[in-house]
Amino acid sequence: MNTEPATAAPYGTWPSPVDAALAASHDGAPDHLGTVGDEVWWTEPRPAEGGRRALVRRRADGTTAPVLPAPWNARSRVIEYGGQPWAGAVRPDGELLVVFVHFDDQRLYAHLPGGLGEPWPLTPVSGVGGGLRWVDPQLRLEHGARGEAWCVLEEFTGPAPTDVRRVLAAVPLDGSAAEDRSRIRELSDGRHRFVTGPRISHDGLRAAWIAWDHPGMPWDGTVVMLADITGAGGLTDARPLVGDLGESVCQVEWGHDGSLLFVSDLSGWWELHRVRPGAVTQGAVPGSRLLPPRGEEFGGPLWKIGLRWFHPLPGGPIAVLHGRGATRLSVLDPETGQLAAVPGPWTAWAPTLTVHGSRVVGVAGSPRSGYEVIEVDTATGRPRTIGVPHRDAVDPAYYPPPEERAFTGPDGREIHAHLYPPHSPDRTGPEGEKPPYVIWAHGGPTAHAPLVLDLEIAYFTSRGIGVAEVNYGGSTGYGRDYRERLRGRWGVVDVEDCAAVAAALVAEGTADPGRLAIRGGSAGGWTAAASLTGTDLYACGTLRYPVLDLEGWATDGTHDFESRYLESLVGPFAEVPERYRERSPLHRADRLNAPFLLLQGLDDVICPPAQCERFLASVAGRGVPHAYIAFAGEGHGFRRSATLVRALEAELSLYAQTFGIDRPDVDRLELTRDA
């Protein structure tokens, strides 16, 4: 470690060992945990392998190995954001069996990891629209000659992205449905547009799942459906149990005592509830809250199918993820209400949990470490890292220490943000110089920027450029009222909150008023674009696979899951069409004067490249410096190493040119003026 005094150098010019290749290699996190026999399995990103998700096993002896070799890619496209893509079990003959979704064709496959054979397909390919897709499988080895996988089936019925239906379905494990759609048994009646995978009671007699319909999103309102399982392996008497249009239930699980556990935000916070066995049988009384009100979230937005914020343990305790802003893991005694926090430095736990006997396994990160697989022995309370351990590839003195801040926005509303000032062990800014800052707007917008080490942030801060991540109104983690601030006001509240944070940093002397930038991806790209076309606060901006045209989104311009999202974010299109035009950056291009970088995946079906093309056409001839980089083979969110490196270096070059910073170590981004 360097012990020499820090040298003064202009902000943005500092040398740094955190290069774009290093940041790209650490992009993504392990996910989709589960247990198979005595082993813990998960998926993890492989940017250097074409961005695939590898399925990995941790054996009982502590060694780890891939379950599936490249190019097998365990990733679902149901609702485009996917979810739990695999399930595993020990067969009666002692062999391990895994069923998984392969990303390339979205077929369901089965595989015996201990054997020499290749995975075999379980489901057919459909040439209609987006075909057949699967997510959140549950294995039932006792049903039929070789068992079944109960899953969510997403089936396209026509060419449009909204020509789609979703049902619970049973897929035979013997491969008989691989070329024969008729061998797949549909379990639910399709009355709901969206469903999660079934959770089967421990006695095998009942199944519960979550459902919702357009125009609502799952954080607006969902219903828990309950059905009986027949002797023939079907579902009967499906009926709603809890939930409503104004109540979001984000997870449901069966307790070992036969009770049904679920997380509901009826109180204004996602909290854990329980319905006793008798109430479940009778069919419809609200559950009792397991903890007094704490002003914390015990759940979150259901962006993927199969997310888990809690997991029952044998004997009655429940592992729970909870917090306000930051999250932690605790073990709840539902009888006494005692909540025992797991010690450790972690400030962000991903919504994936599994249980291995008396041990809880989750995925967590901290400001000093990326996401790791953590196992907690509930008997002792001791945690340990068992997978994807964080290793410092550079001196951690280059990591930015975050500051959790609360700012005041319009109308006195509170705005949460994470501040990452420029930071280096061997450089400091010249006396009297204020640093440049980039305001980061997260995607979603119903989402949250976690407090965890991000080497993309360190890439900028270690060079002398500050970053402020804003959890603007509409973000999750702070209760329903906070996230509903954006209702009808997307493009207003988010823009105002980001601007309020930027202005406050200038007012307190933290940031240079002439060197402010804004960046975001997806919905964050919308906020960045709306900020550039709605304020004159920023000197430049980076737009990553953004929403740019609300009218296009409202008229079959995106995928089914979010096709009615704007009705809550903006308002019904038929009632307020002028609002869609007034707020769209596409129709405010005449107000755009700041340089910008536009980054887009050509395979993106959520924010299609056609929006970028229309936006660029509206900017053409105005003399605004800009660059457009389109990446073949990338969808919504970049996954490949080469893409991640190119995008990050281009972004740095934009800031260097706009802020007057000399960065000869990065290829110069060519900016077009179209004058």
- Which residues of the chain are under the pLDDT cut of 70? 1-3, 143-145, 277-287, 675
Distance CA(99)–CA(101), nearest Å, equals 7
Give the closest residue to 384 by CA, choosing from 375, 372, 394: 375
CB 107 within 8 A of CB 121: yes
Residues 6 or more apart whose CB falls under 8 angstroms from that of 396 comprise: 368
Single out the residue of 192, 216, 262 nearest to residue 484, CA to CA. Answer: 216
Instruction: Tell me which residue of 327, 324, 328 sits closest to 477, measured CA to CA.
Output: 324
Residue 279 is predicted with a pLDDT of 64
Domains of the chain: 7-20+397-659 (3.40.50.1820), 202-306 (no CATH)
**Residue 432: exposed, middle, or buried by beta-carbon count in 10 A (0-12, 13-18, 19+)?**
exposed
- With H, G, I as helix, E, B as strand and everything else as coil, classify residue 122: coil
Tokens coding 518: 């804004």
pLDDT in tens, 408-422: 999 999 999 999 999
Please state, in angstroms and rounded to a whole number, the distance separating the CA atoms of residues 546 and 606: 9
So what's the pLDDT on residue 276? 78
**pLDDT by residue (tens digit) across 192-223?**
999 999 999 999 999 999 999 999 999 999 99
Number of H-type helices and E-type strands within the chain: 11, 39
The rounded distance, in Å, linking the Cα atoms of 476 and 298 is 11
Q: Which token pair is 628? A: 């457009």
pLDDT of 3: 60
- What is the pLDDT, as a whole number, of residue 603? 95
Report the sign of the C-alpha dihedral through residues 82, 372, 356, 44, in that order. positive
Phi, psi of 257 (to 5 degrees): -90, 5
| Beta strands 7-8 and 96-101, pairing class | unpaired
Q: What is the C-alpha to C-alpha distance for residues 621 and 628, in angstroms, rounded to an integer?
A: 15
**Peptide bond preceding 293 in cis form (omega within 30 of 0):** no
Rounded Cα distance, 247 and 256, in Å = 26
329: which residues sit within 8 A by CB, 6+ positions away?
A: 319, 320, 321, 341, 342, 346, 349, 360, 362, 364, 374, 376
The residue whose two tokens read 């009926």 is 239
pLDDT tens string 275-306: 976 665 544 455 688 888 899 999 999 999 99
Contacts of 624 (CB under 8 A, 6+ apart): 592, 593, 594, 595, 596, 673, 674
What pLDDT sits at residue 282?
A: 47
